[in-house]
Structure 1
Amino acid sequence: MDGFRLPLGEWVETGVNWLLNNLEWLFDFISTVIGALVDGLTGLLLDVPFPVTIVVLALVAWLLRSPLLAVGTAVSLLVIVSLDLWTPAMQTLALVLVATIVAILIAVPLGIWSARNDTVRAVLKPVLDFMQTMPAFVYLIPAILFFGIGVVPGMVATVIFALPPGVRLTELGIRGVDGETVEAGHAFGATPGQILRGIQLPLALPTIMAGVNQVIMLALSMAVIAGMAGADGLGKLVVEAISTVDIGQGVEAGLGIVLIAVFLDRVTAALASPSEYSLLGLIGRRRTARRRQAADQAAASAASAEEDALAAAAR
């Protein structure tokens, strides 16, 4: 087989050229929609005064996790402000949030479909393996060809790279639901849709939220690569620092990414089951205590009434 070479690269290039020539309208539509979403969210985050944003995010951290995380969130965001990185940090946050939402909207239905259909699972498994093992830089090549330079190719590459864990963990969560519980739903006459909404999704929620957490972390890990495609944000500052060997700027921008990652990681980890130290946990404990107190009072009243009735009967 001397001299033989599989022309895989030429085949891929031919396919990409065909897509560019025949689906340009679709790429323009996707570029317009994604650009509008990212720019709109970025504008919203930047239009709100930063003290208000810090307070809101700290309250979210307290609502779902703990007062300690709320304080840590406020301090972390103030550090970002003190480093004059607020604008690129909000640009990165907007990119990550939009990429995460798009990835989840694709991953969760695919995971559910894969969990309920073995053929779909067999087809998706090698595709997801390919998506996870392909170097992330490779996704930028067709993304830049299809969408040009800017935030859109960076976000498309981010979605592709971050998608597989969401699909896998959604499928794992649905398949991990106890079969007897599902059979009980069938026995009571529930439709497949009712079983999915009322039994499988609620029981699989912790695993699905673990997938959402992984999607967010992978999306943040793509911030620098998205910056190479021209996307504004902290990743772009890291790329500039690399090109100019500016260690100070690189460390500051990298620290900003780390602080955002810690906040998103802790908050998303608490979405499925809020901490007992969170505001939601405190409200839940108070409601439980009130219900228990009311039940105890009702039981005491019933016992007292029964004693009175017995005393009256004895007389």
Structure 2
Amino acid sequence: MSDTTQTQDPWATAPADAGAAPAHDAAANAGDAWSSAPPPAAHDAAGQGADWLSSAPAQPEHFSLLDPFHKAWVPFDSWVTQGIDWLVLHFRPLFQGIRVPVDVILSGFQQLLLGMPAPIAILVFSLVAWQIAGLGMGAATLLSLVAIGAIGAWSQAMVTLALVLTALFFCILIGLPLGIWLARSKHAAKVIRPLLDAMQTTPAFVYLVPIVMLFGIGNVPGVVVTIIFALPPIVRLTILGIKQVPEDLIEAAESFGASPRQLLFKVQLPLAMPTIMAGVNQTLMLALSMVVIASMIAVGGLGQMVLRGIGRLDMGLAAIGGVGIVILAIILDRLTQSLGRDRRSKGIGRWYRRGPIGLFTRPFIKQA
């Protein structure tokens, strides 16, 4: 009767038996988070880990003539890493000292360009363009700069212009004397020209890692990497311009007793100036092309706008930075081309008789 009652009563407590004990213990252990008994899966994982640790090492790879370069023979990457680490450890103060003149020039350009009200800056740039390249270029510069301000990129454009002008200043300061020296010394040219080839052909991204380790990040390291990237053209074209000076002119100057210094500054450099200005033009274009890449090491300006636009998939922001860079590139390209033009062969008068300066000086100068 009692068995029948328990069968019919669903709430009756079943008697404990020996077979139910293991299930009870397993449930208790599973519910007890602090239980010391590991689950079976843990034992399996521990066993697998022990097998992996105690397993035999992999067999060494054998050299194959059919695939000889599947592994590097020379640890060039570790050599470069160790070399950069050694430079950072021993010469970091020297590289930090190099930052000082770059920072001074860059700060001066930024204070001048950003501190000047936009209408006055546009007027000054337009007058300079008129003086250098004519009235048409002055009007085009005026409209172009107004367009940059209208799309909301004026401040960033001035920062970019300061970066480019600073890089150009140091490229001329380094490249012009270096080009003159290499044009006169064949032995030095044999040593320096491979370095110029390497500087001009190395991808721009490769410069960023050592520059960051040696100089840090910011606008000053961006100027340094731009100088390295944009220096070769002005050196090469300075060499070319001096070597293209006709030999008979050099012999004539020497026959009249010209000293080497007079020969350089009175004959060679004036005749080589169109070629040198072509080098300045190429240096400017390379500096502007480096603006976007240098923005990856926290360089401000229009390149930073392009980088942010790419990161956010904001095509409008990237387009504003790109259009600003293009407008600056066109203006600087036309101005440097005008500076390198041989005005004497075109019958153009002296600089103080043309442009806005000529408007004021012409009444006071006796016409020739």
User: Do both share a fold (TM > 0.5)?
Assistant: yes
* 5+ long unaligned stretches in structure 2: 1-62
Shifted more, 26-35 versus 61-70: the winner is 26-35
Letter in 2 for 1:109: P
- Tell me the residue number matched to 1:14: 82
Pairing 1:161-240 to 2, within 5 Å after superposition:
161-240=229-308
Partners of 1:139 and 1:51 in 2: how far apart?
37
Partners of 1:217 and 1:60 in 2: how far apart?
20
Partners of 2:348 and 2:140 in 1: how far apart?
15
Match of 1:50 among 99, 107, 118: 118
Q: Is the 8 A contact 1:63 1:279 kept in 2?
A: no
Q: Is 1:280 matched up with 2:351?
A: yes
Offset at residue 253 of structure 1 (A)? 0.8
Q: Is the 8 A contact 1:64 1:278 kept in 2?
A: no
Deviation by residue 1:114-172 (Cα, 9 ceiling, x = unmatched): 11011111112211111111000101111111111111221111111100100000000
Pairing 1:86-105 to 2, within 5 Å after superposition:
86-105=154-173
Offset at residue 41 of structure 1 (A)? 1.2
In structure 2, relative to structure 1, the CA distance for the partners of 1:165 and 1:239 (3 Å cut) is same
Offset at residue 16 of structure 1 (A)? 1.2
TM-score by length of 1: 0.87
Q: Is the 8 A contact 1:234 1:254 kept in 2?
A: yes
Identity level (%): 46
Offset at residue 281 of structure 1 (A)? 8.3
Deviation by residue 1:10-52 (Cα, 9 ceiling, x = unmatched): 2222221121111111111122332232122112111111111
Rg: which structure is higher? 2
Q: Is the 8 A contact 1:62 1:278 kept in 2?
A: no
In structure 2, relative to structure 1, the CA distance for the partners of 1:127 and 1:215 (3 Å cut) is same
Q: Is the 8 A contact 1:62 1:279 kept in 2?
A: no
Pairing 1:115-130 to 2, within 5 Å after superposition:
115-130=183-198
In structure 2, relative to structure 1, the CA distance for the partners of 1:277 and 1:89 (3 Å cut) is farther
Q: Is 1:146 matched up with 2:223?
A: no
Pairing 1:46-85 to 2, within 5 Å after superposition:
46-85=114-153
In structure 2, relative to structure 1, the CA distance for the partners of 1:289 and 1:177 (3 Å cut) is farther
In structure 2, relative to structure 1, the CA distance for the partners of 1:171 and 1:236 (3 Å cut) is same
DSSP-derived class of the 1:204 partner: helix
Pairing 1:22-33 to 2, within 5 Å after superposition:
22-33=90-101
- Tell me the residue number matched to 2:5: none
Q: Is the 8 A contact 2:305 2:320 kept in 1?
A: no
Instruction: Tell me: higher relative CO, structure 1 or 2? Use CA pairs within 8 A at least 6 residues apart.
Output: 1
In structure 2, relative to structure 1, the CA distance for the partners of 1:132 and 1:239 (3 Å cut) is same
CA RMSD of aligned residues (A): 2.2
In structure 2, relative to structure 1, the CA distance for the partners of 1:197 and 1:278 (3 Å cut) is closer
* 5+ long unaligned stretches in structure 1: 292-315
Partners of 1:113 and 1:54 in 2: how far apart?
39
Q: Is 1:36 matched up with 2:104?
A: yes
- Tell me the residue number matched to 2:367: 290
Letter in 2 for 1:32: V
- Tell me the residue number matched to 2:19: none
Offset at residue 82 of structure 1 (A)? 1.0
Shifted more, 186-195 versus 212-221: the winner is 186-195
In structure 2, relative to structure 1, the CA distance for the partners of 1:289 and 1:235 (3 Å cut) is same
More helix by share: 1
Q: Is the 8 A contact 1:220 1:257 kept in 2?
A: yes
Partners of 1:152 and 1:281 in 2: how far apart?
37
Deviation by residue 1:214-260 (Cα, 9 ceiling, x = unmatched): 10110001010111111110001101111111111111110001111
TM-score by length of 2: 0.75
Deviation by residue 1:64-104 (Cα, 9 ceiling, x = unmatched): 11211111111111111111111110000000000011011
Letter in 2 for 1:283: R
Q: Is the 8 A contact 1:66 1:277 kept in 2?
A: no
DSSP-derived class of the 2:367 partner: helix
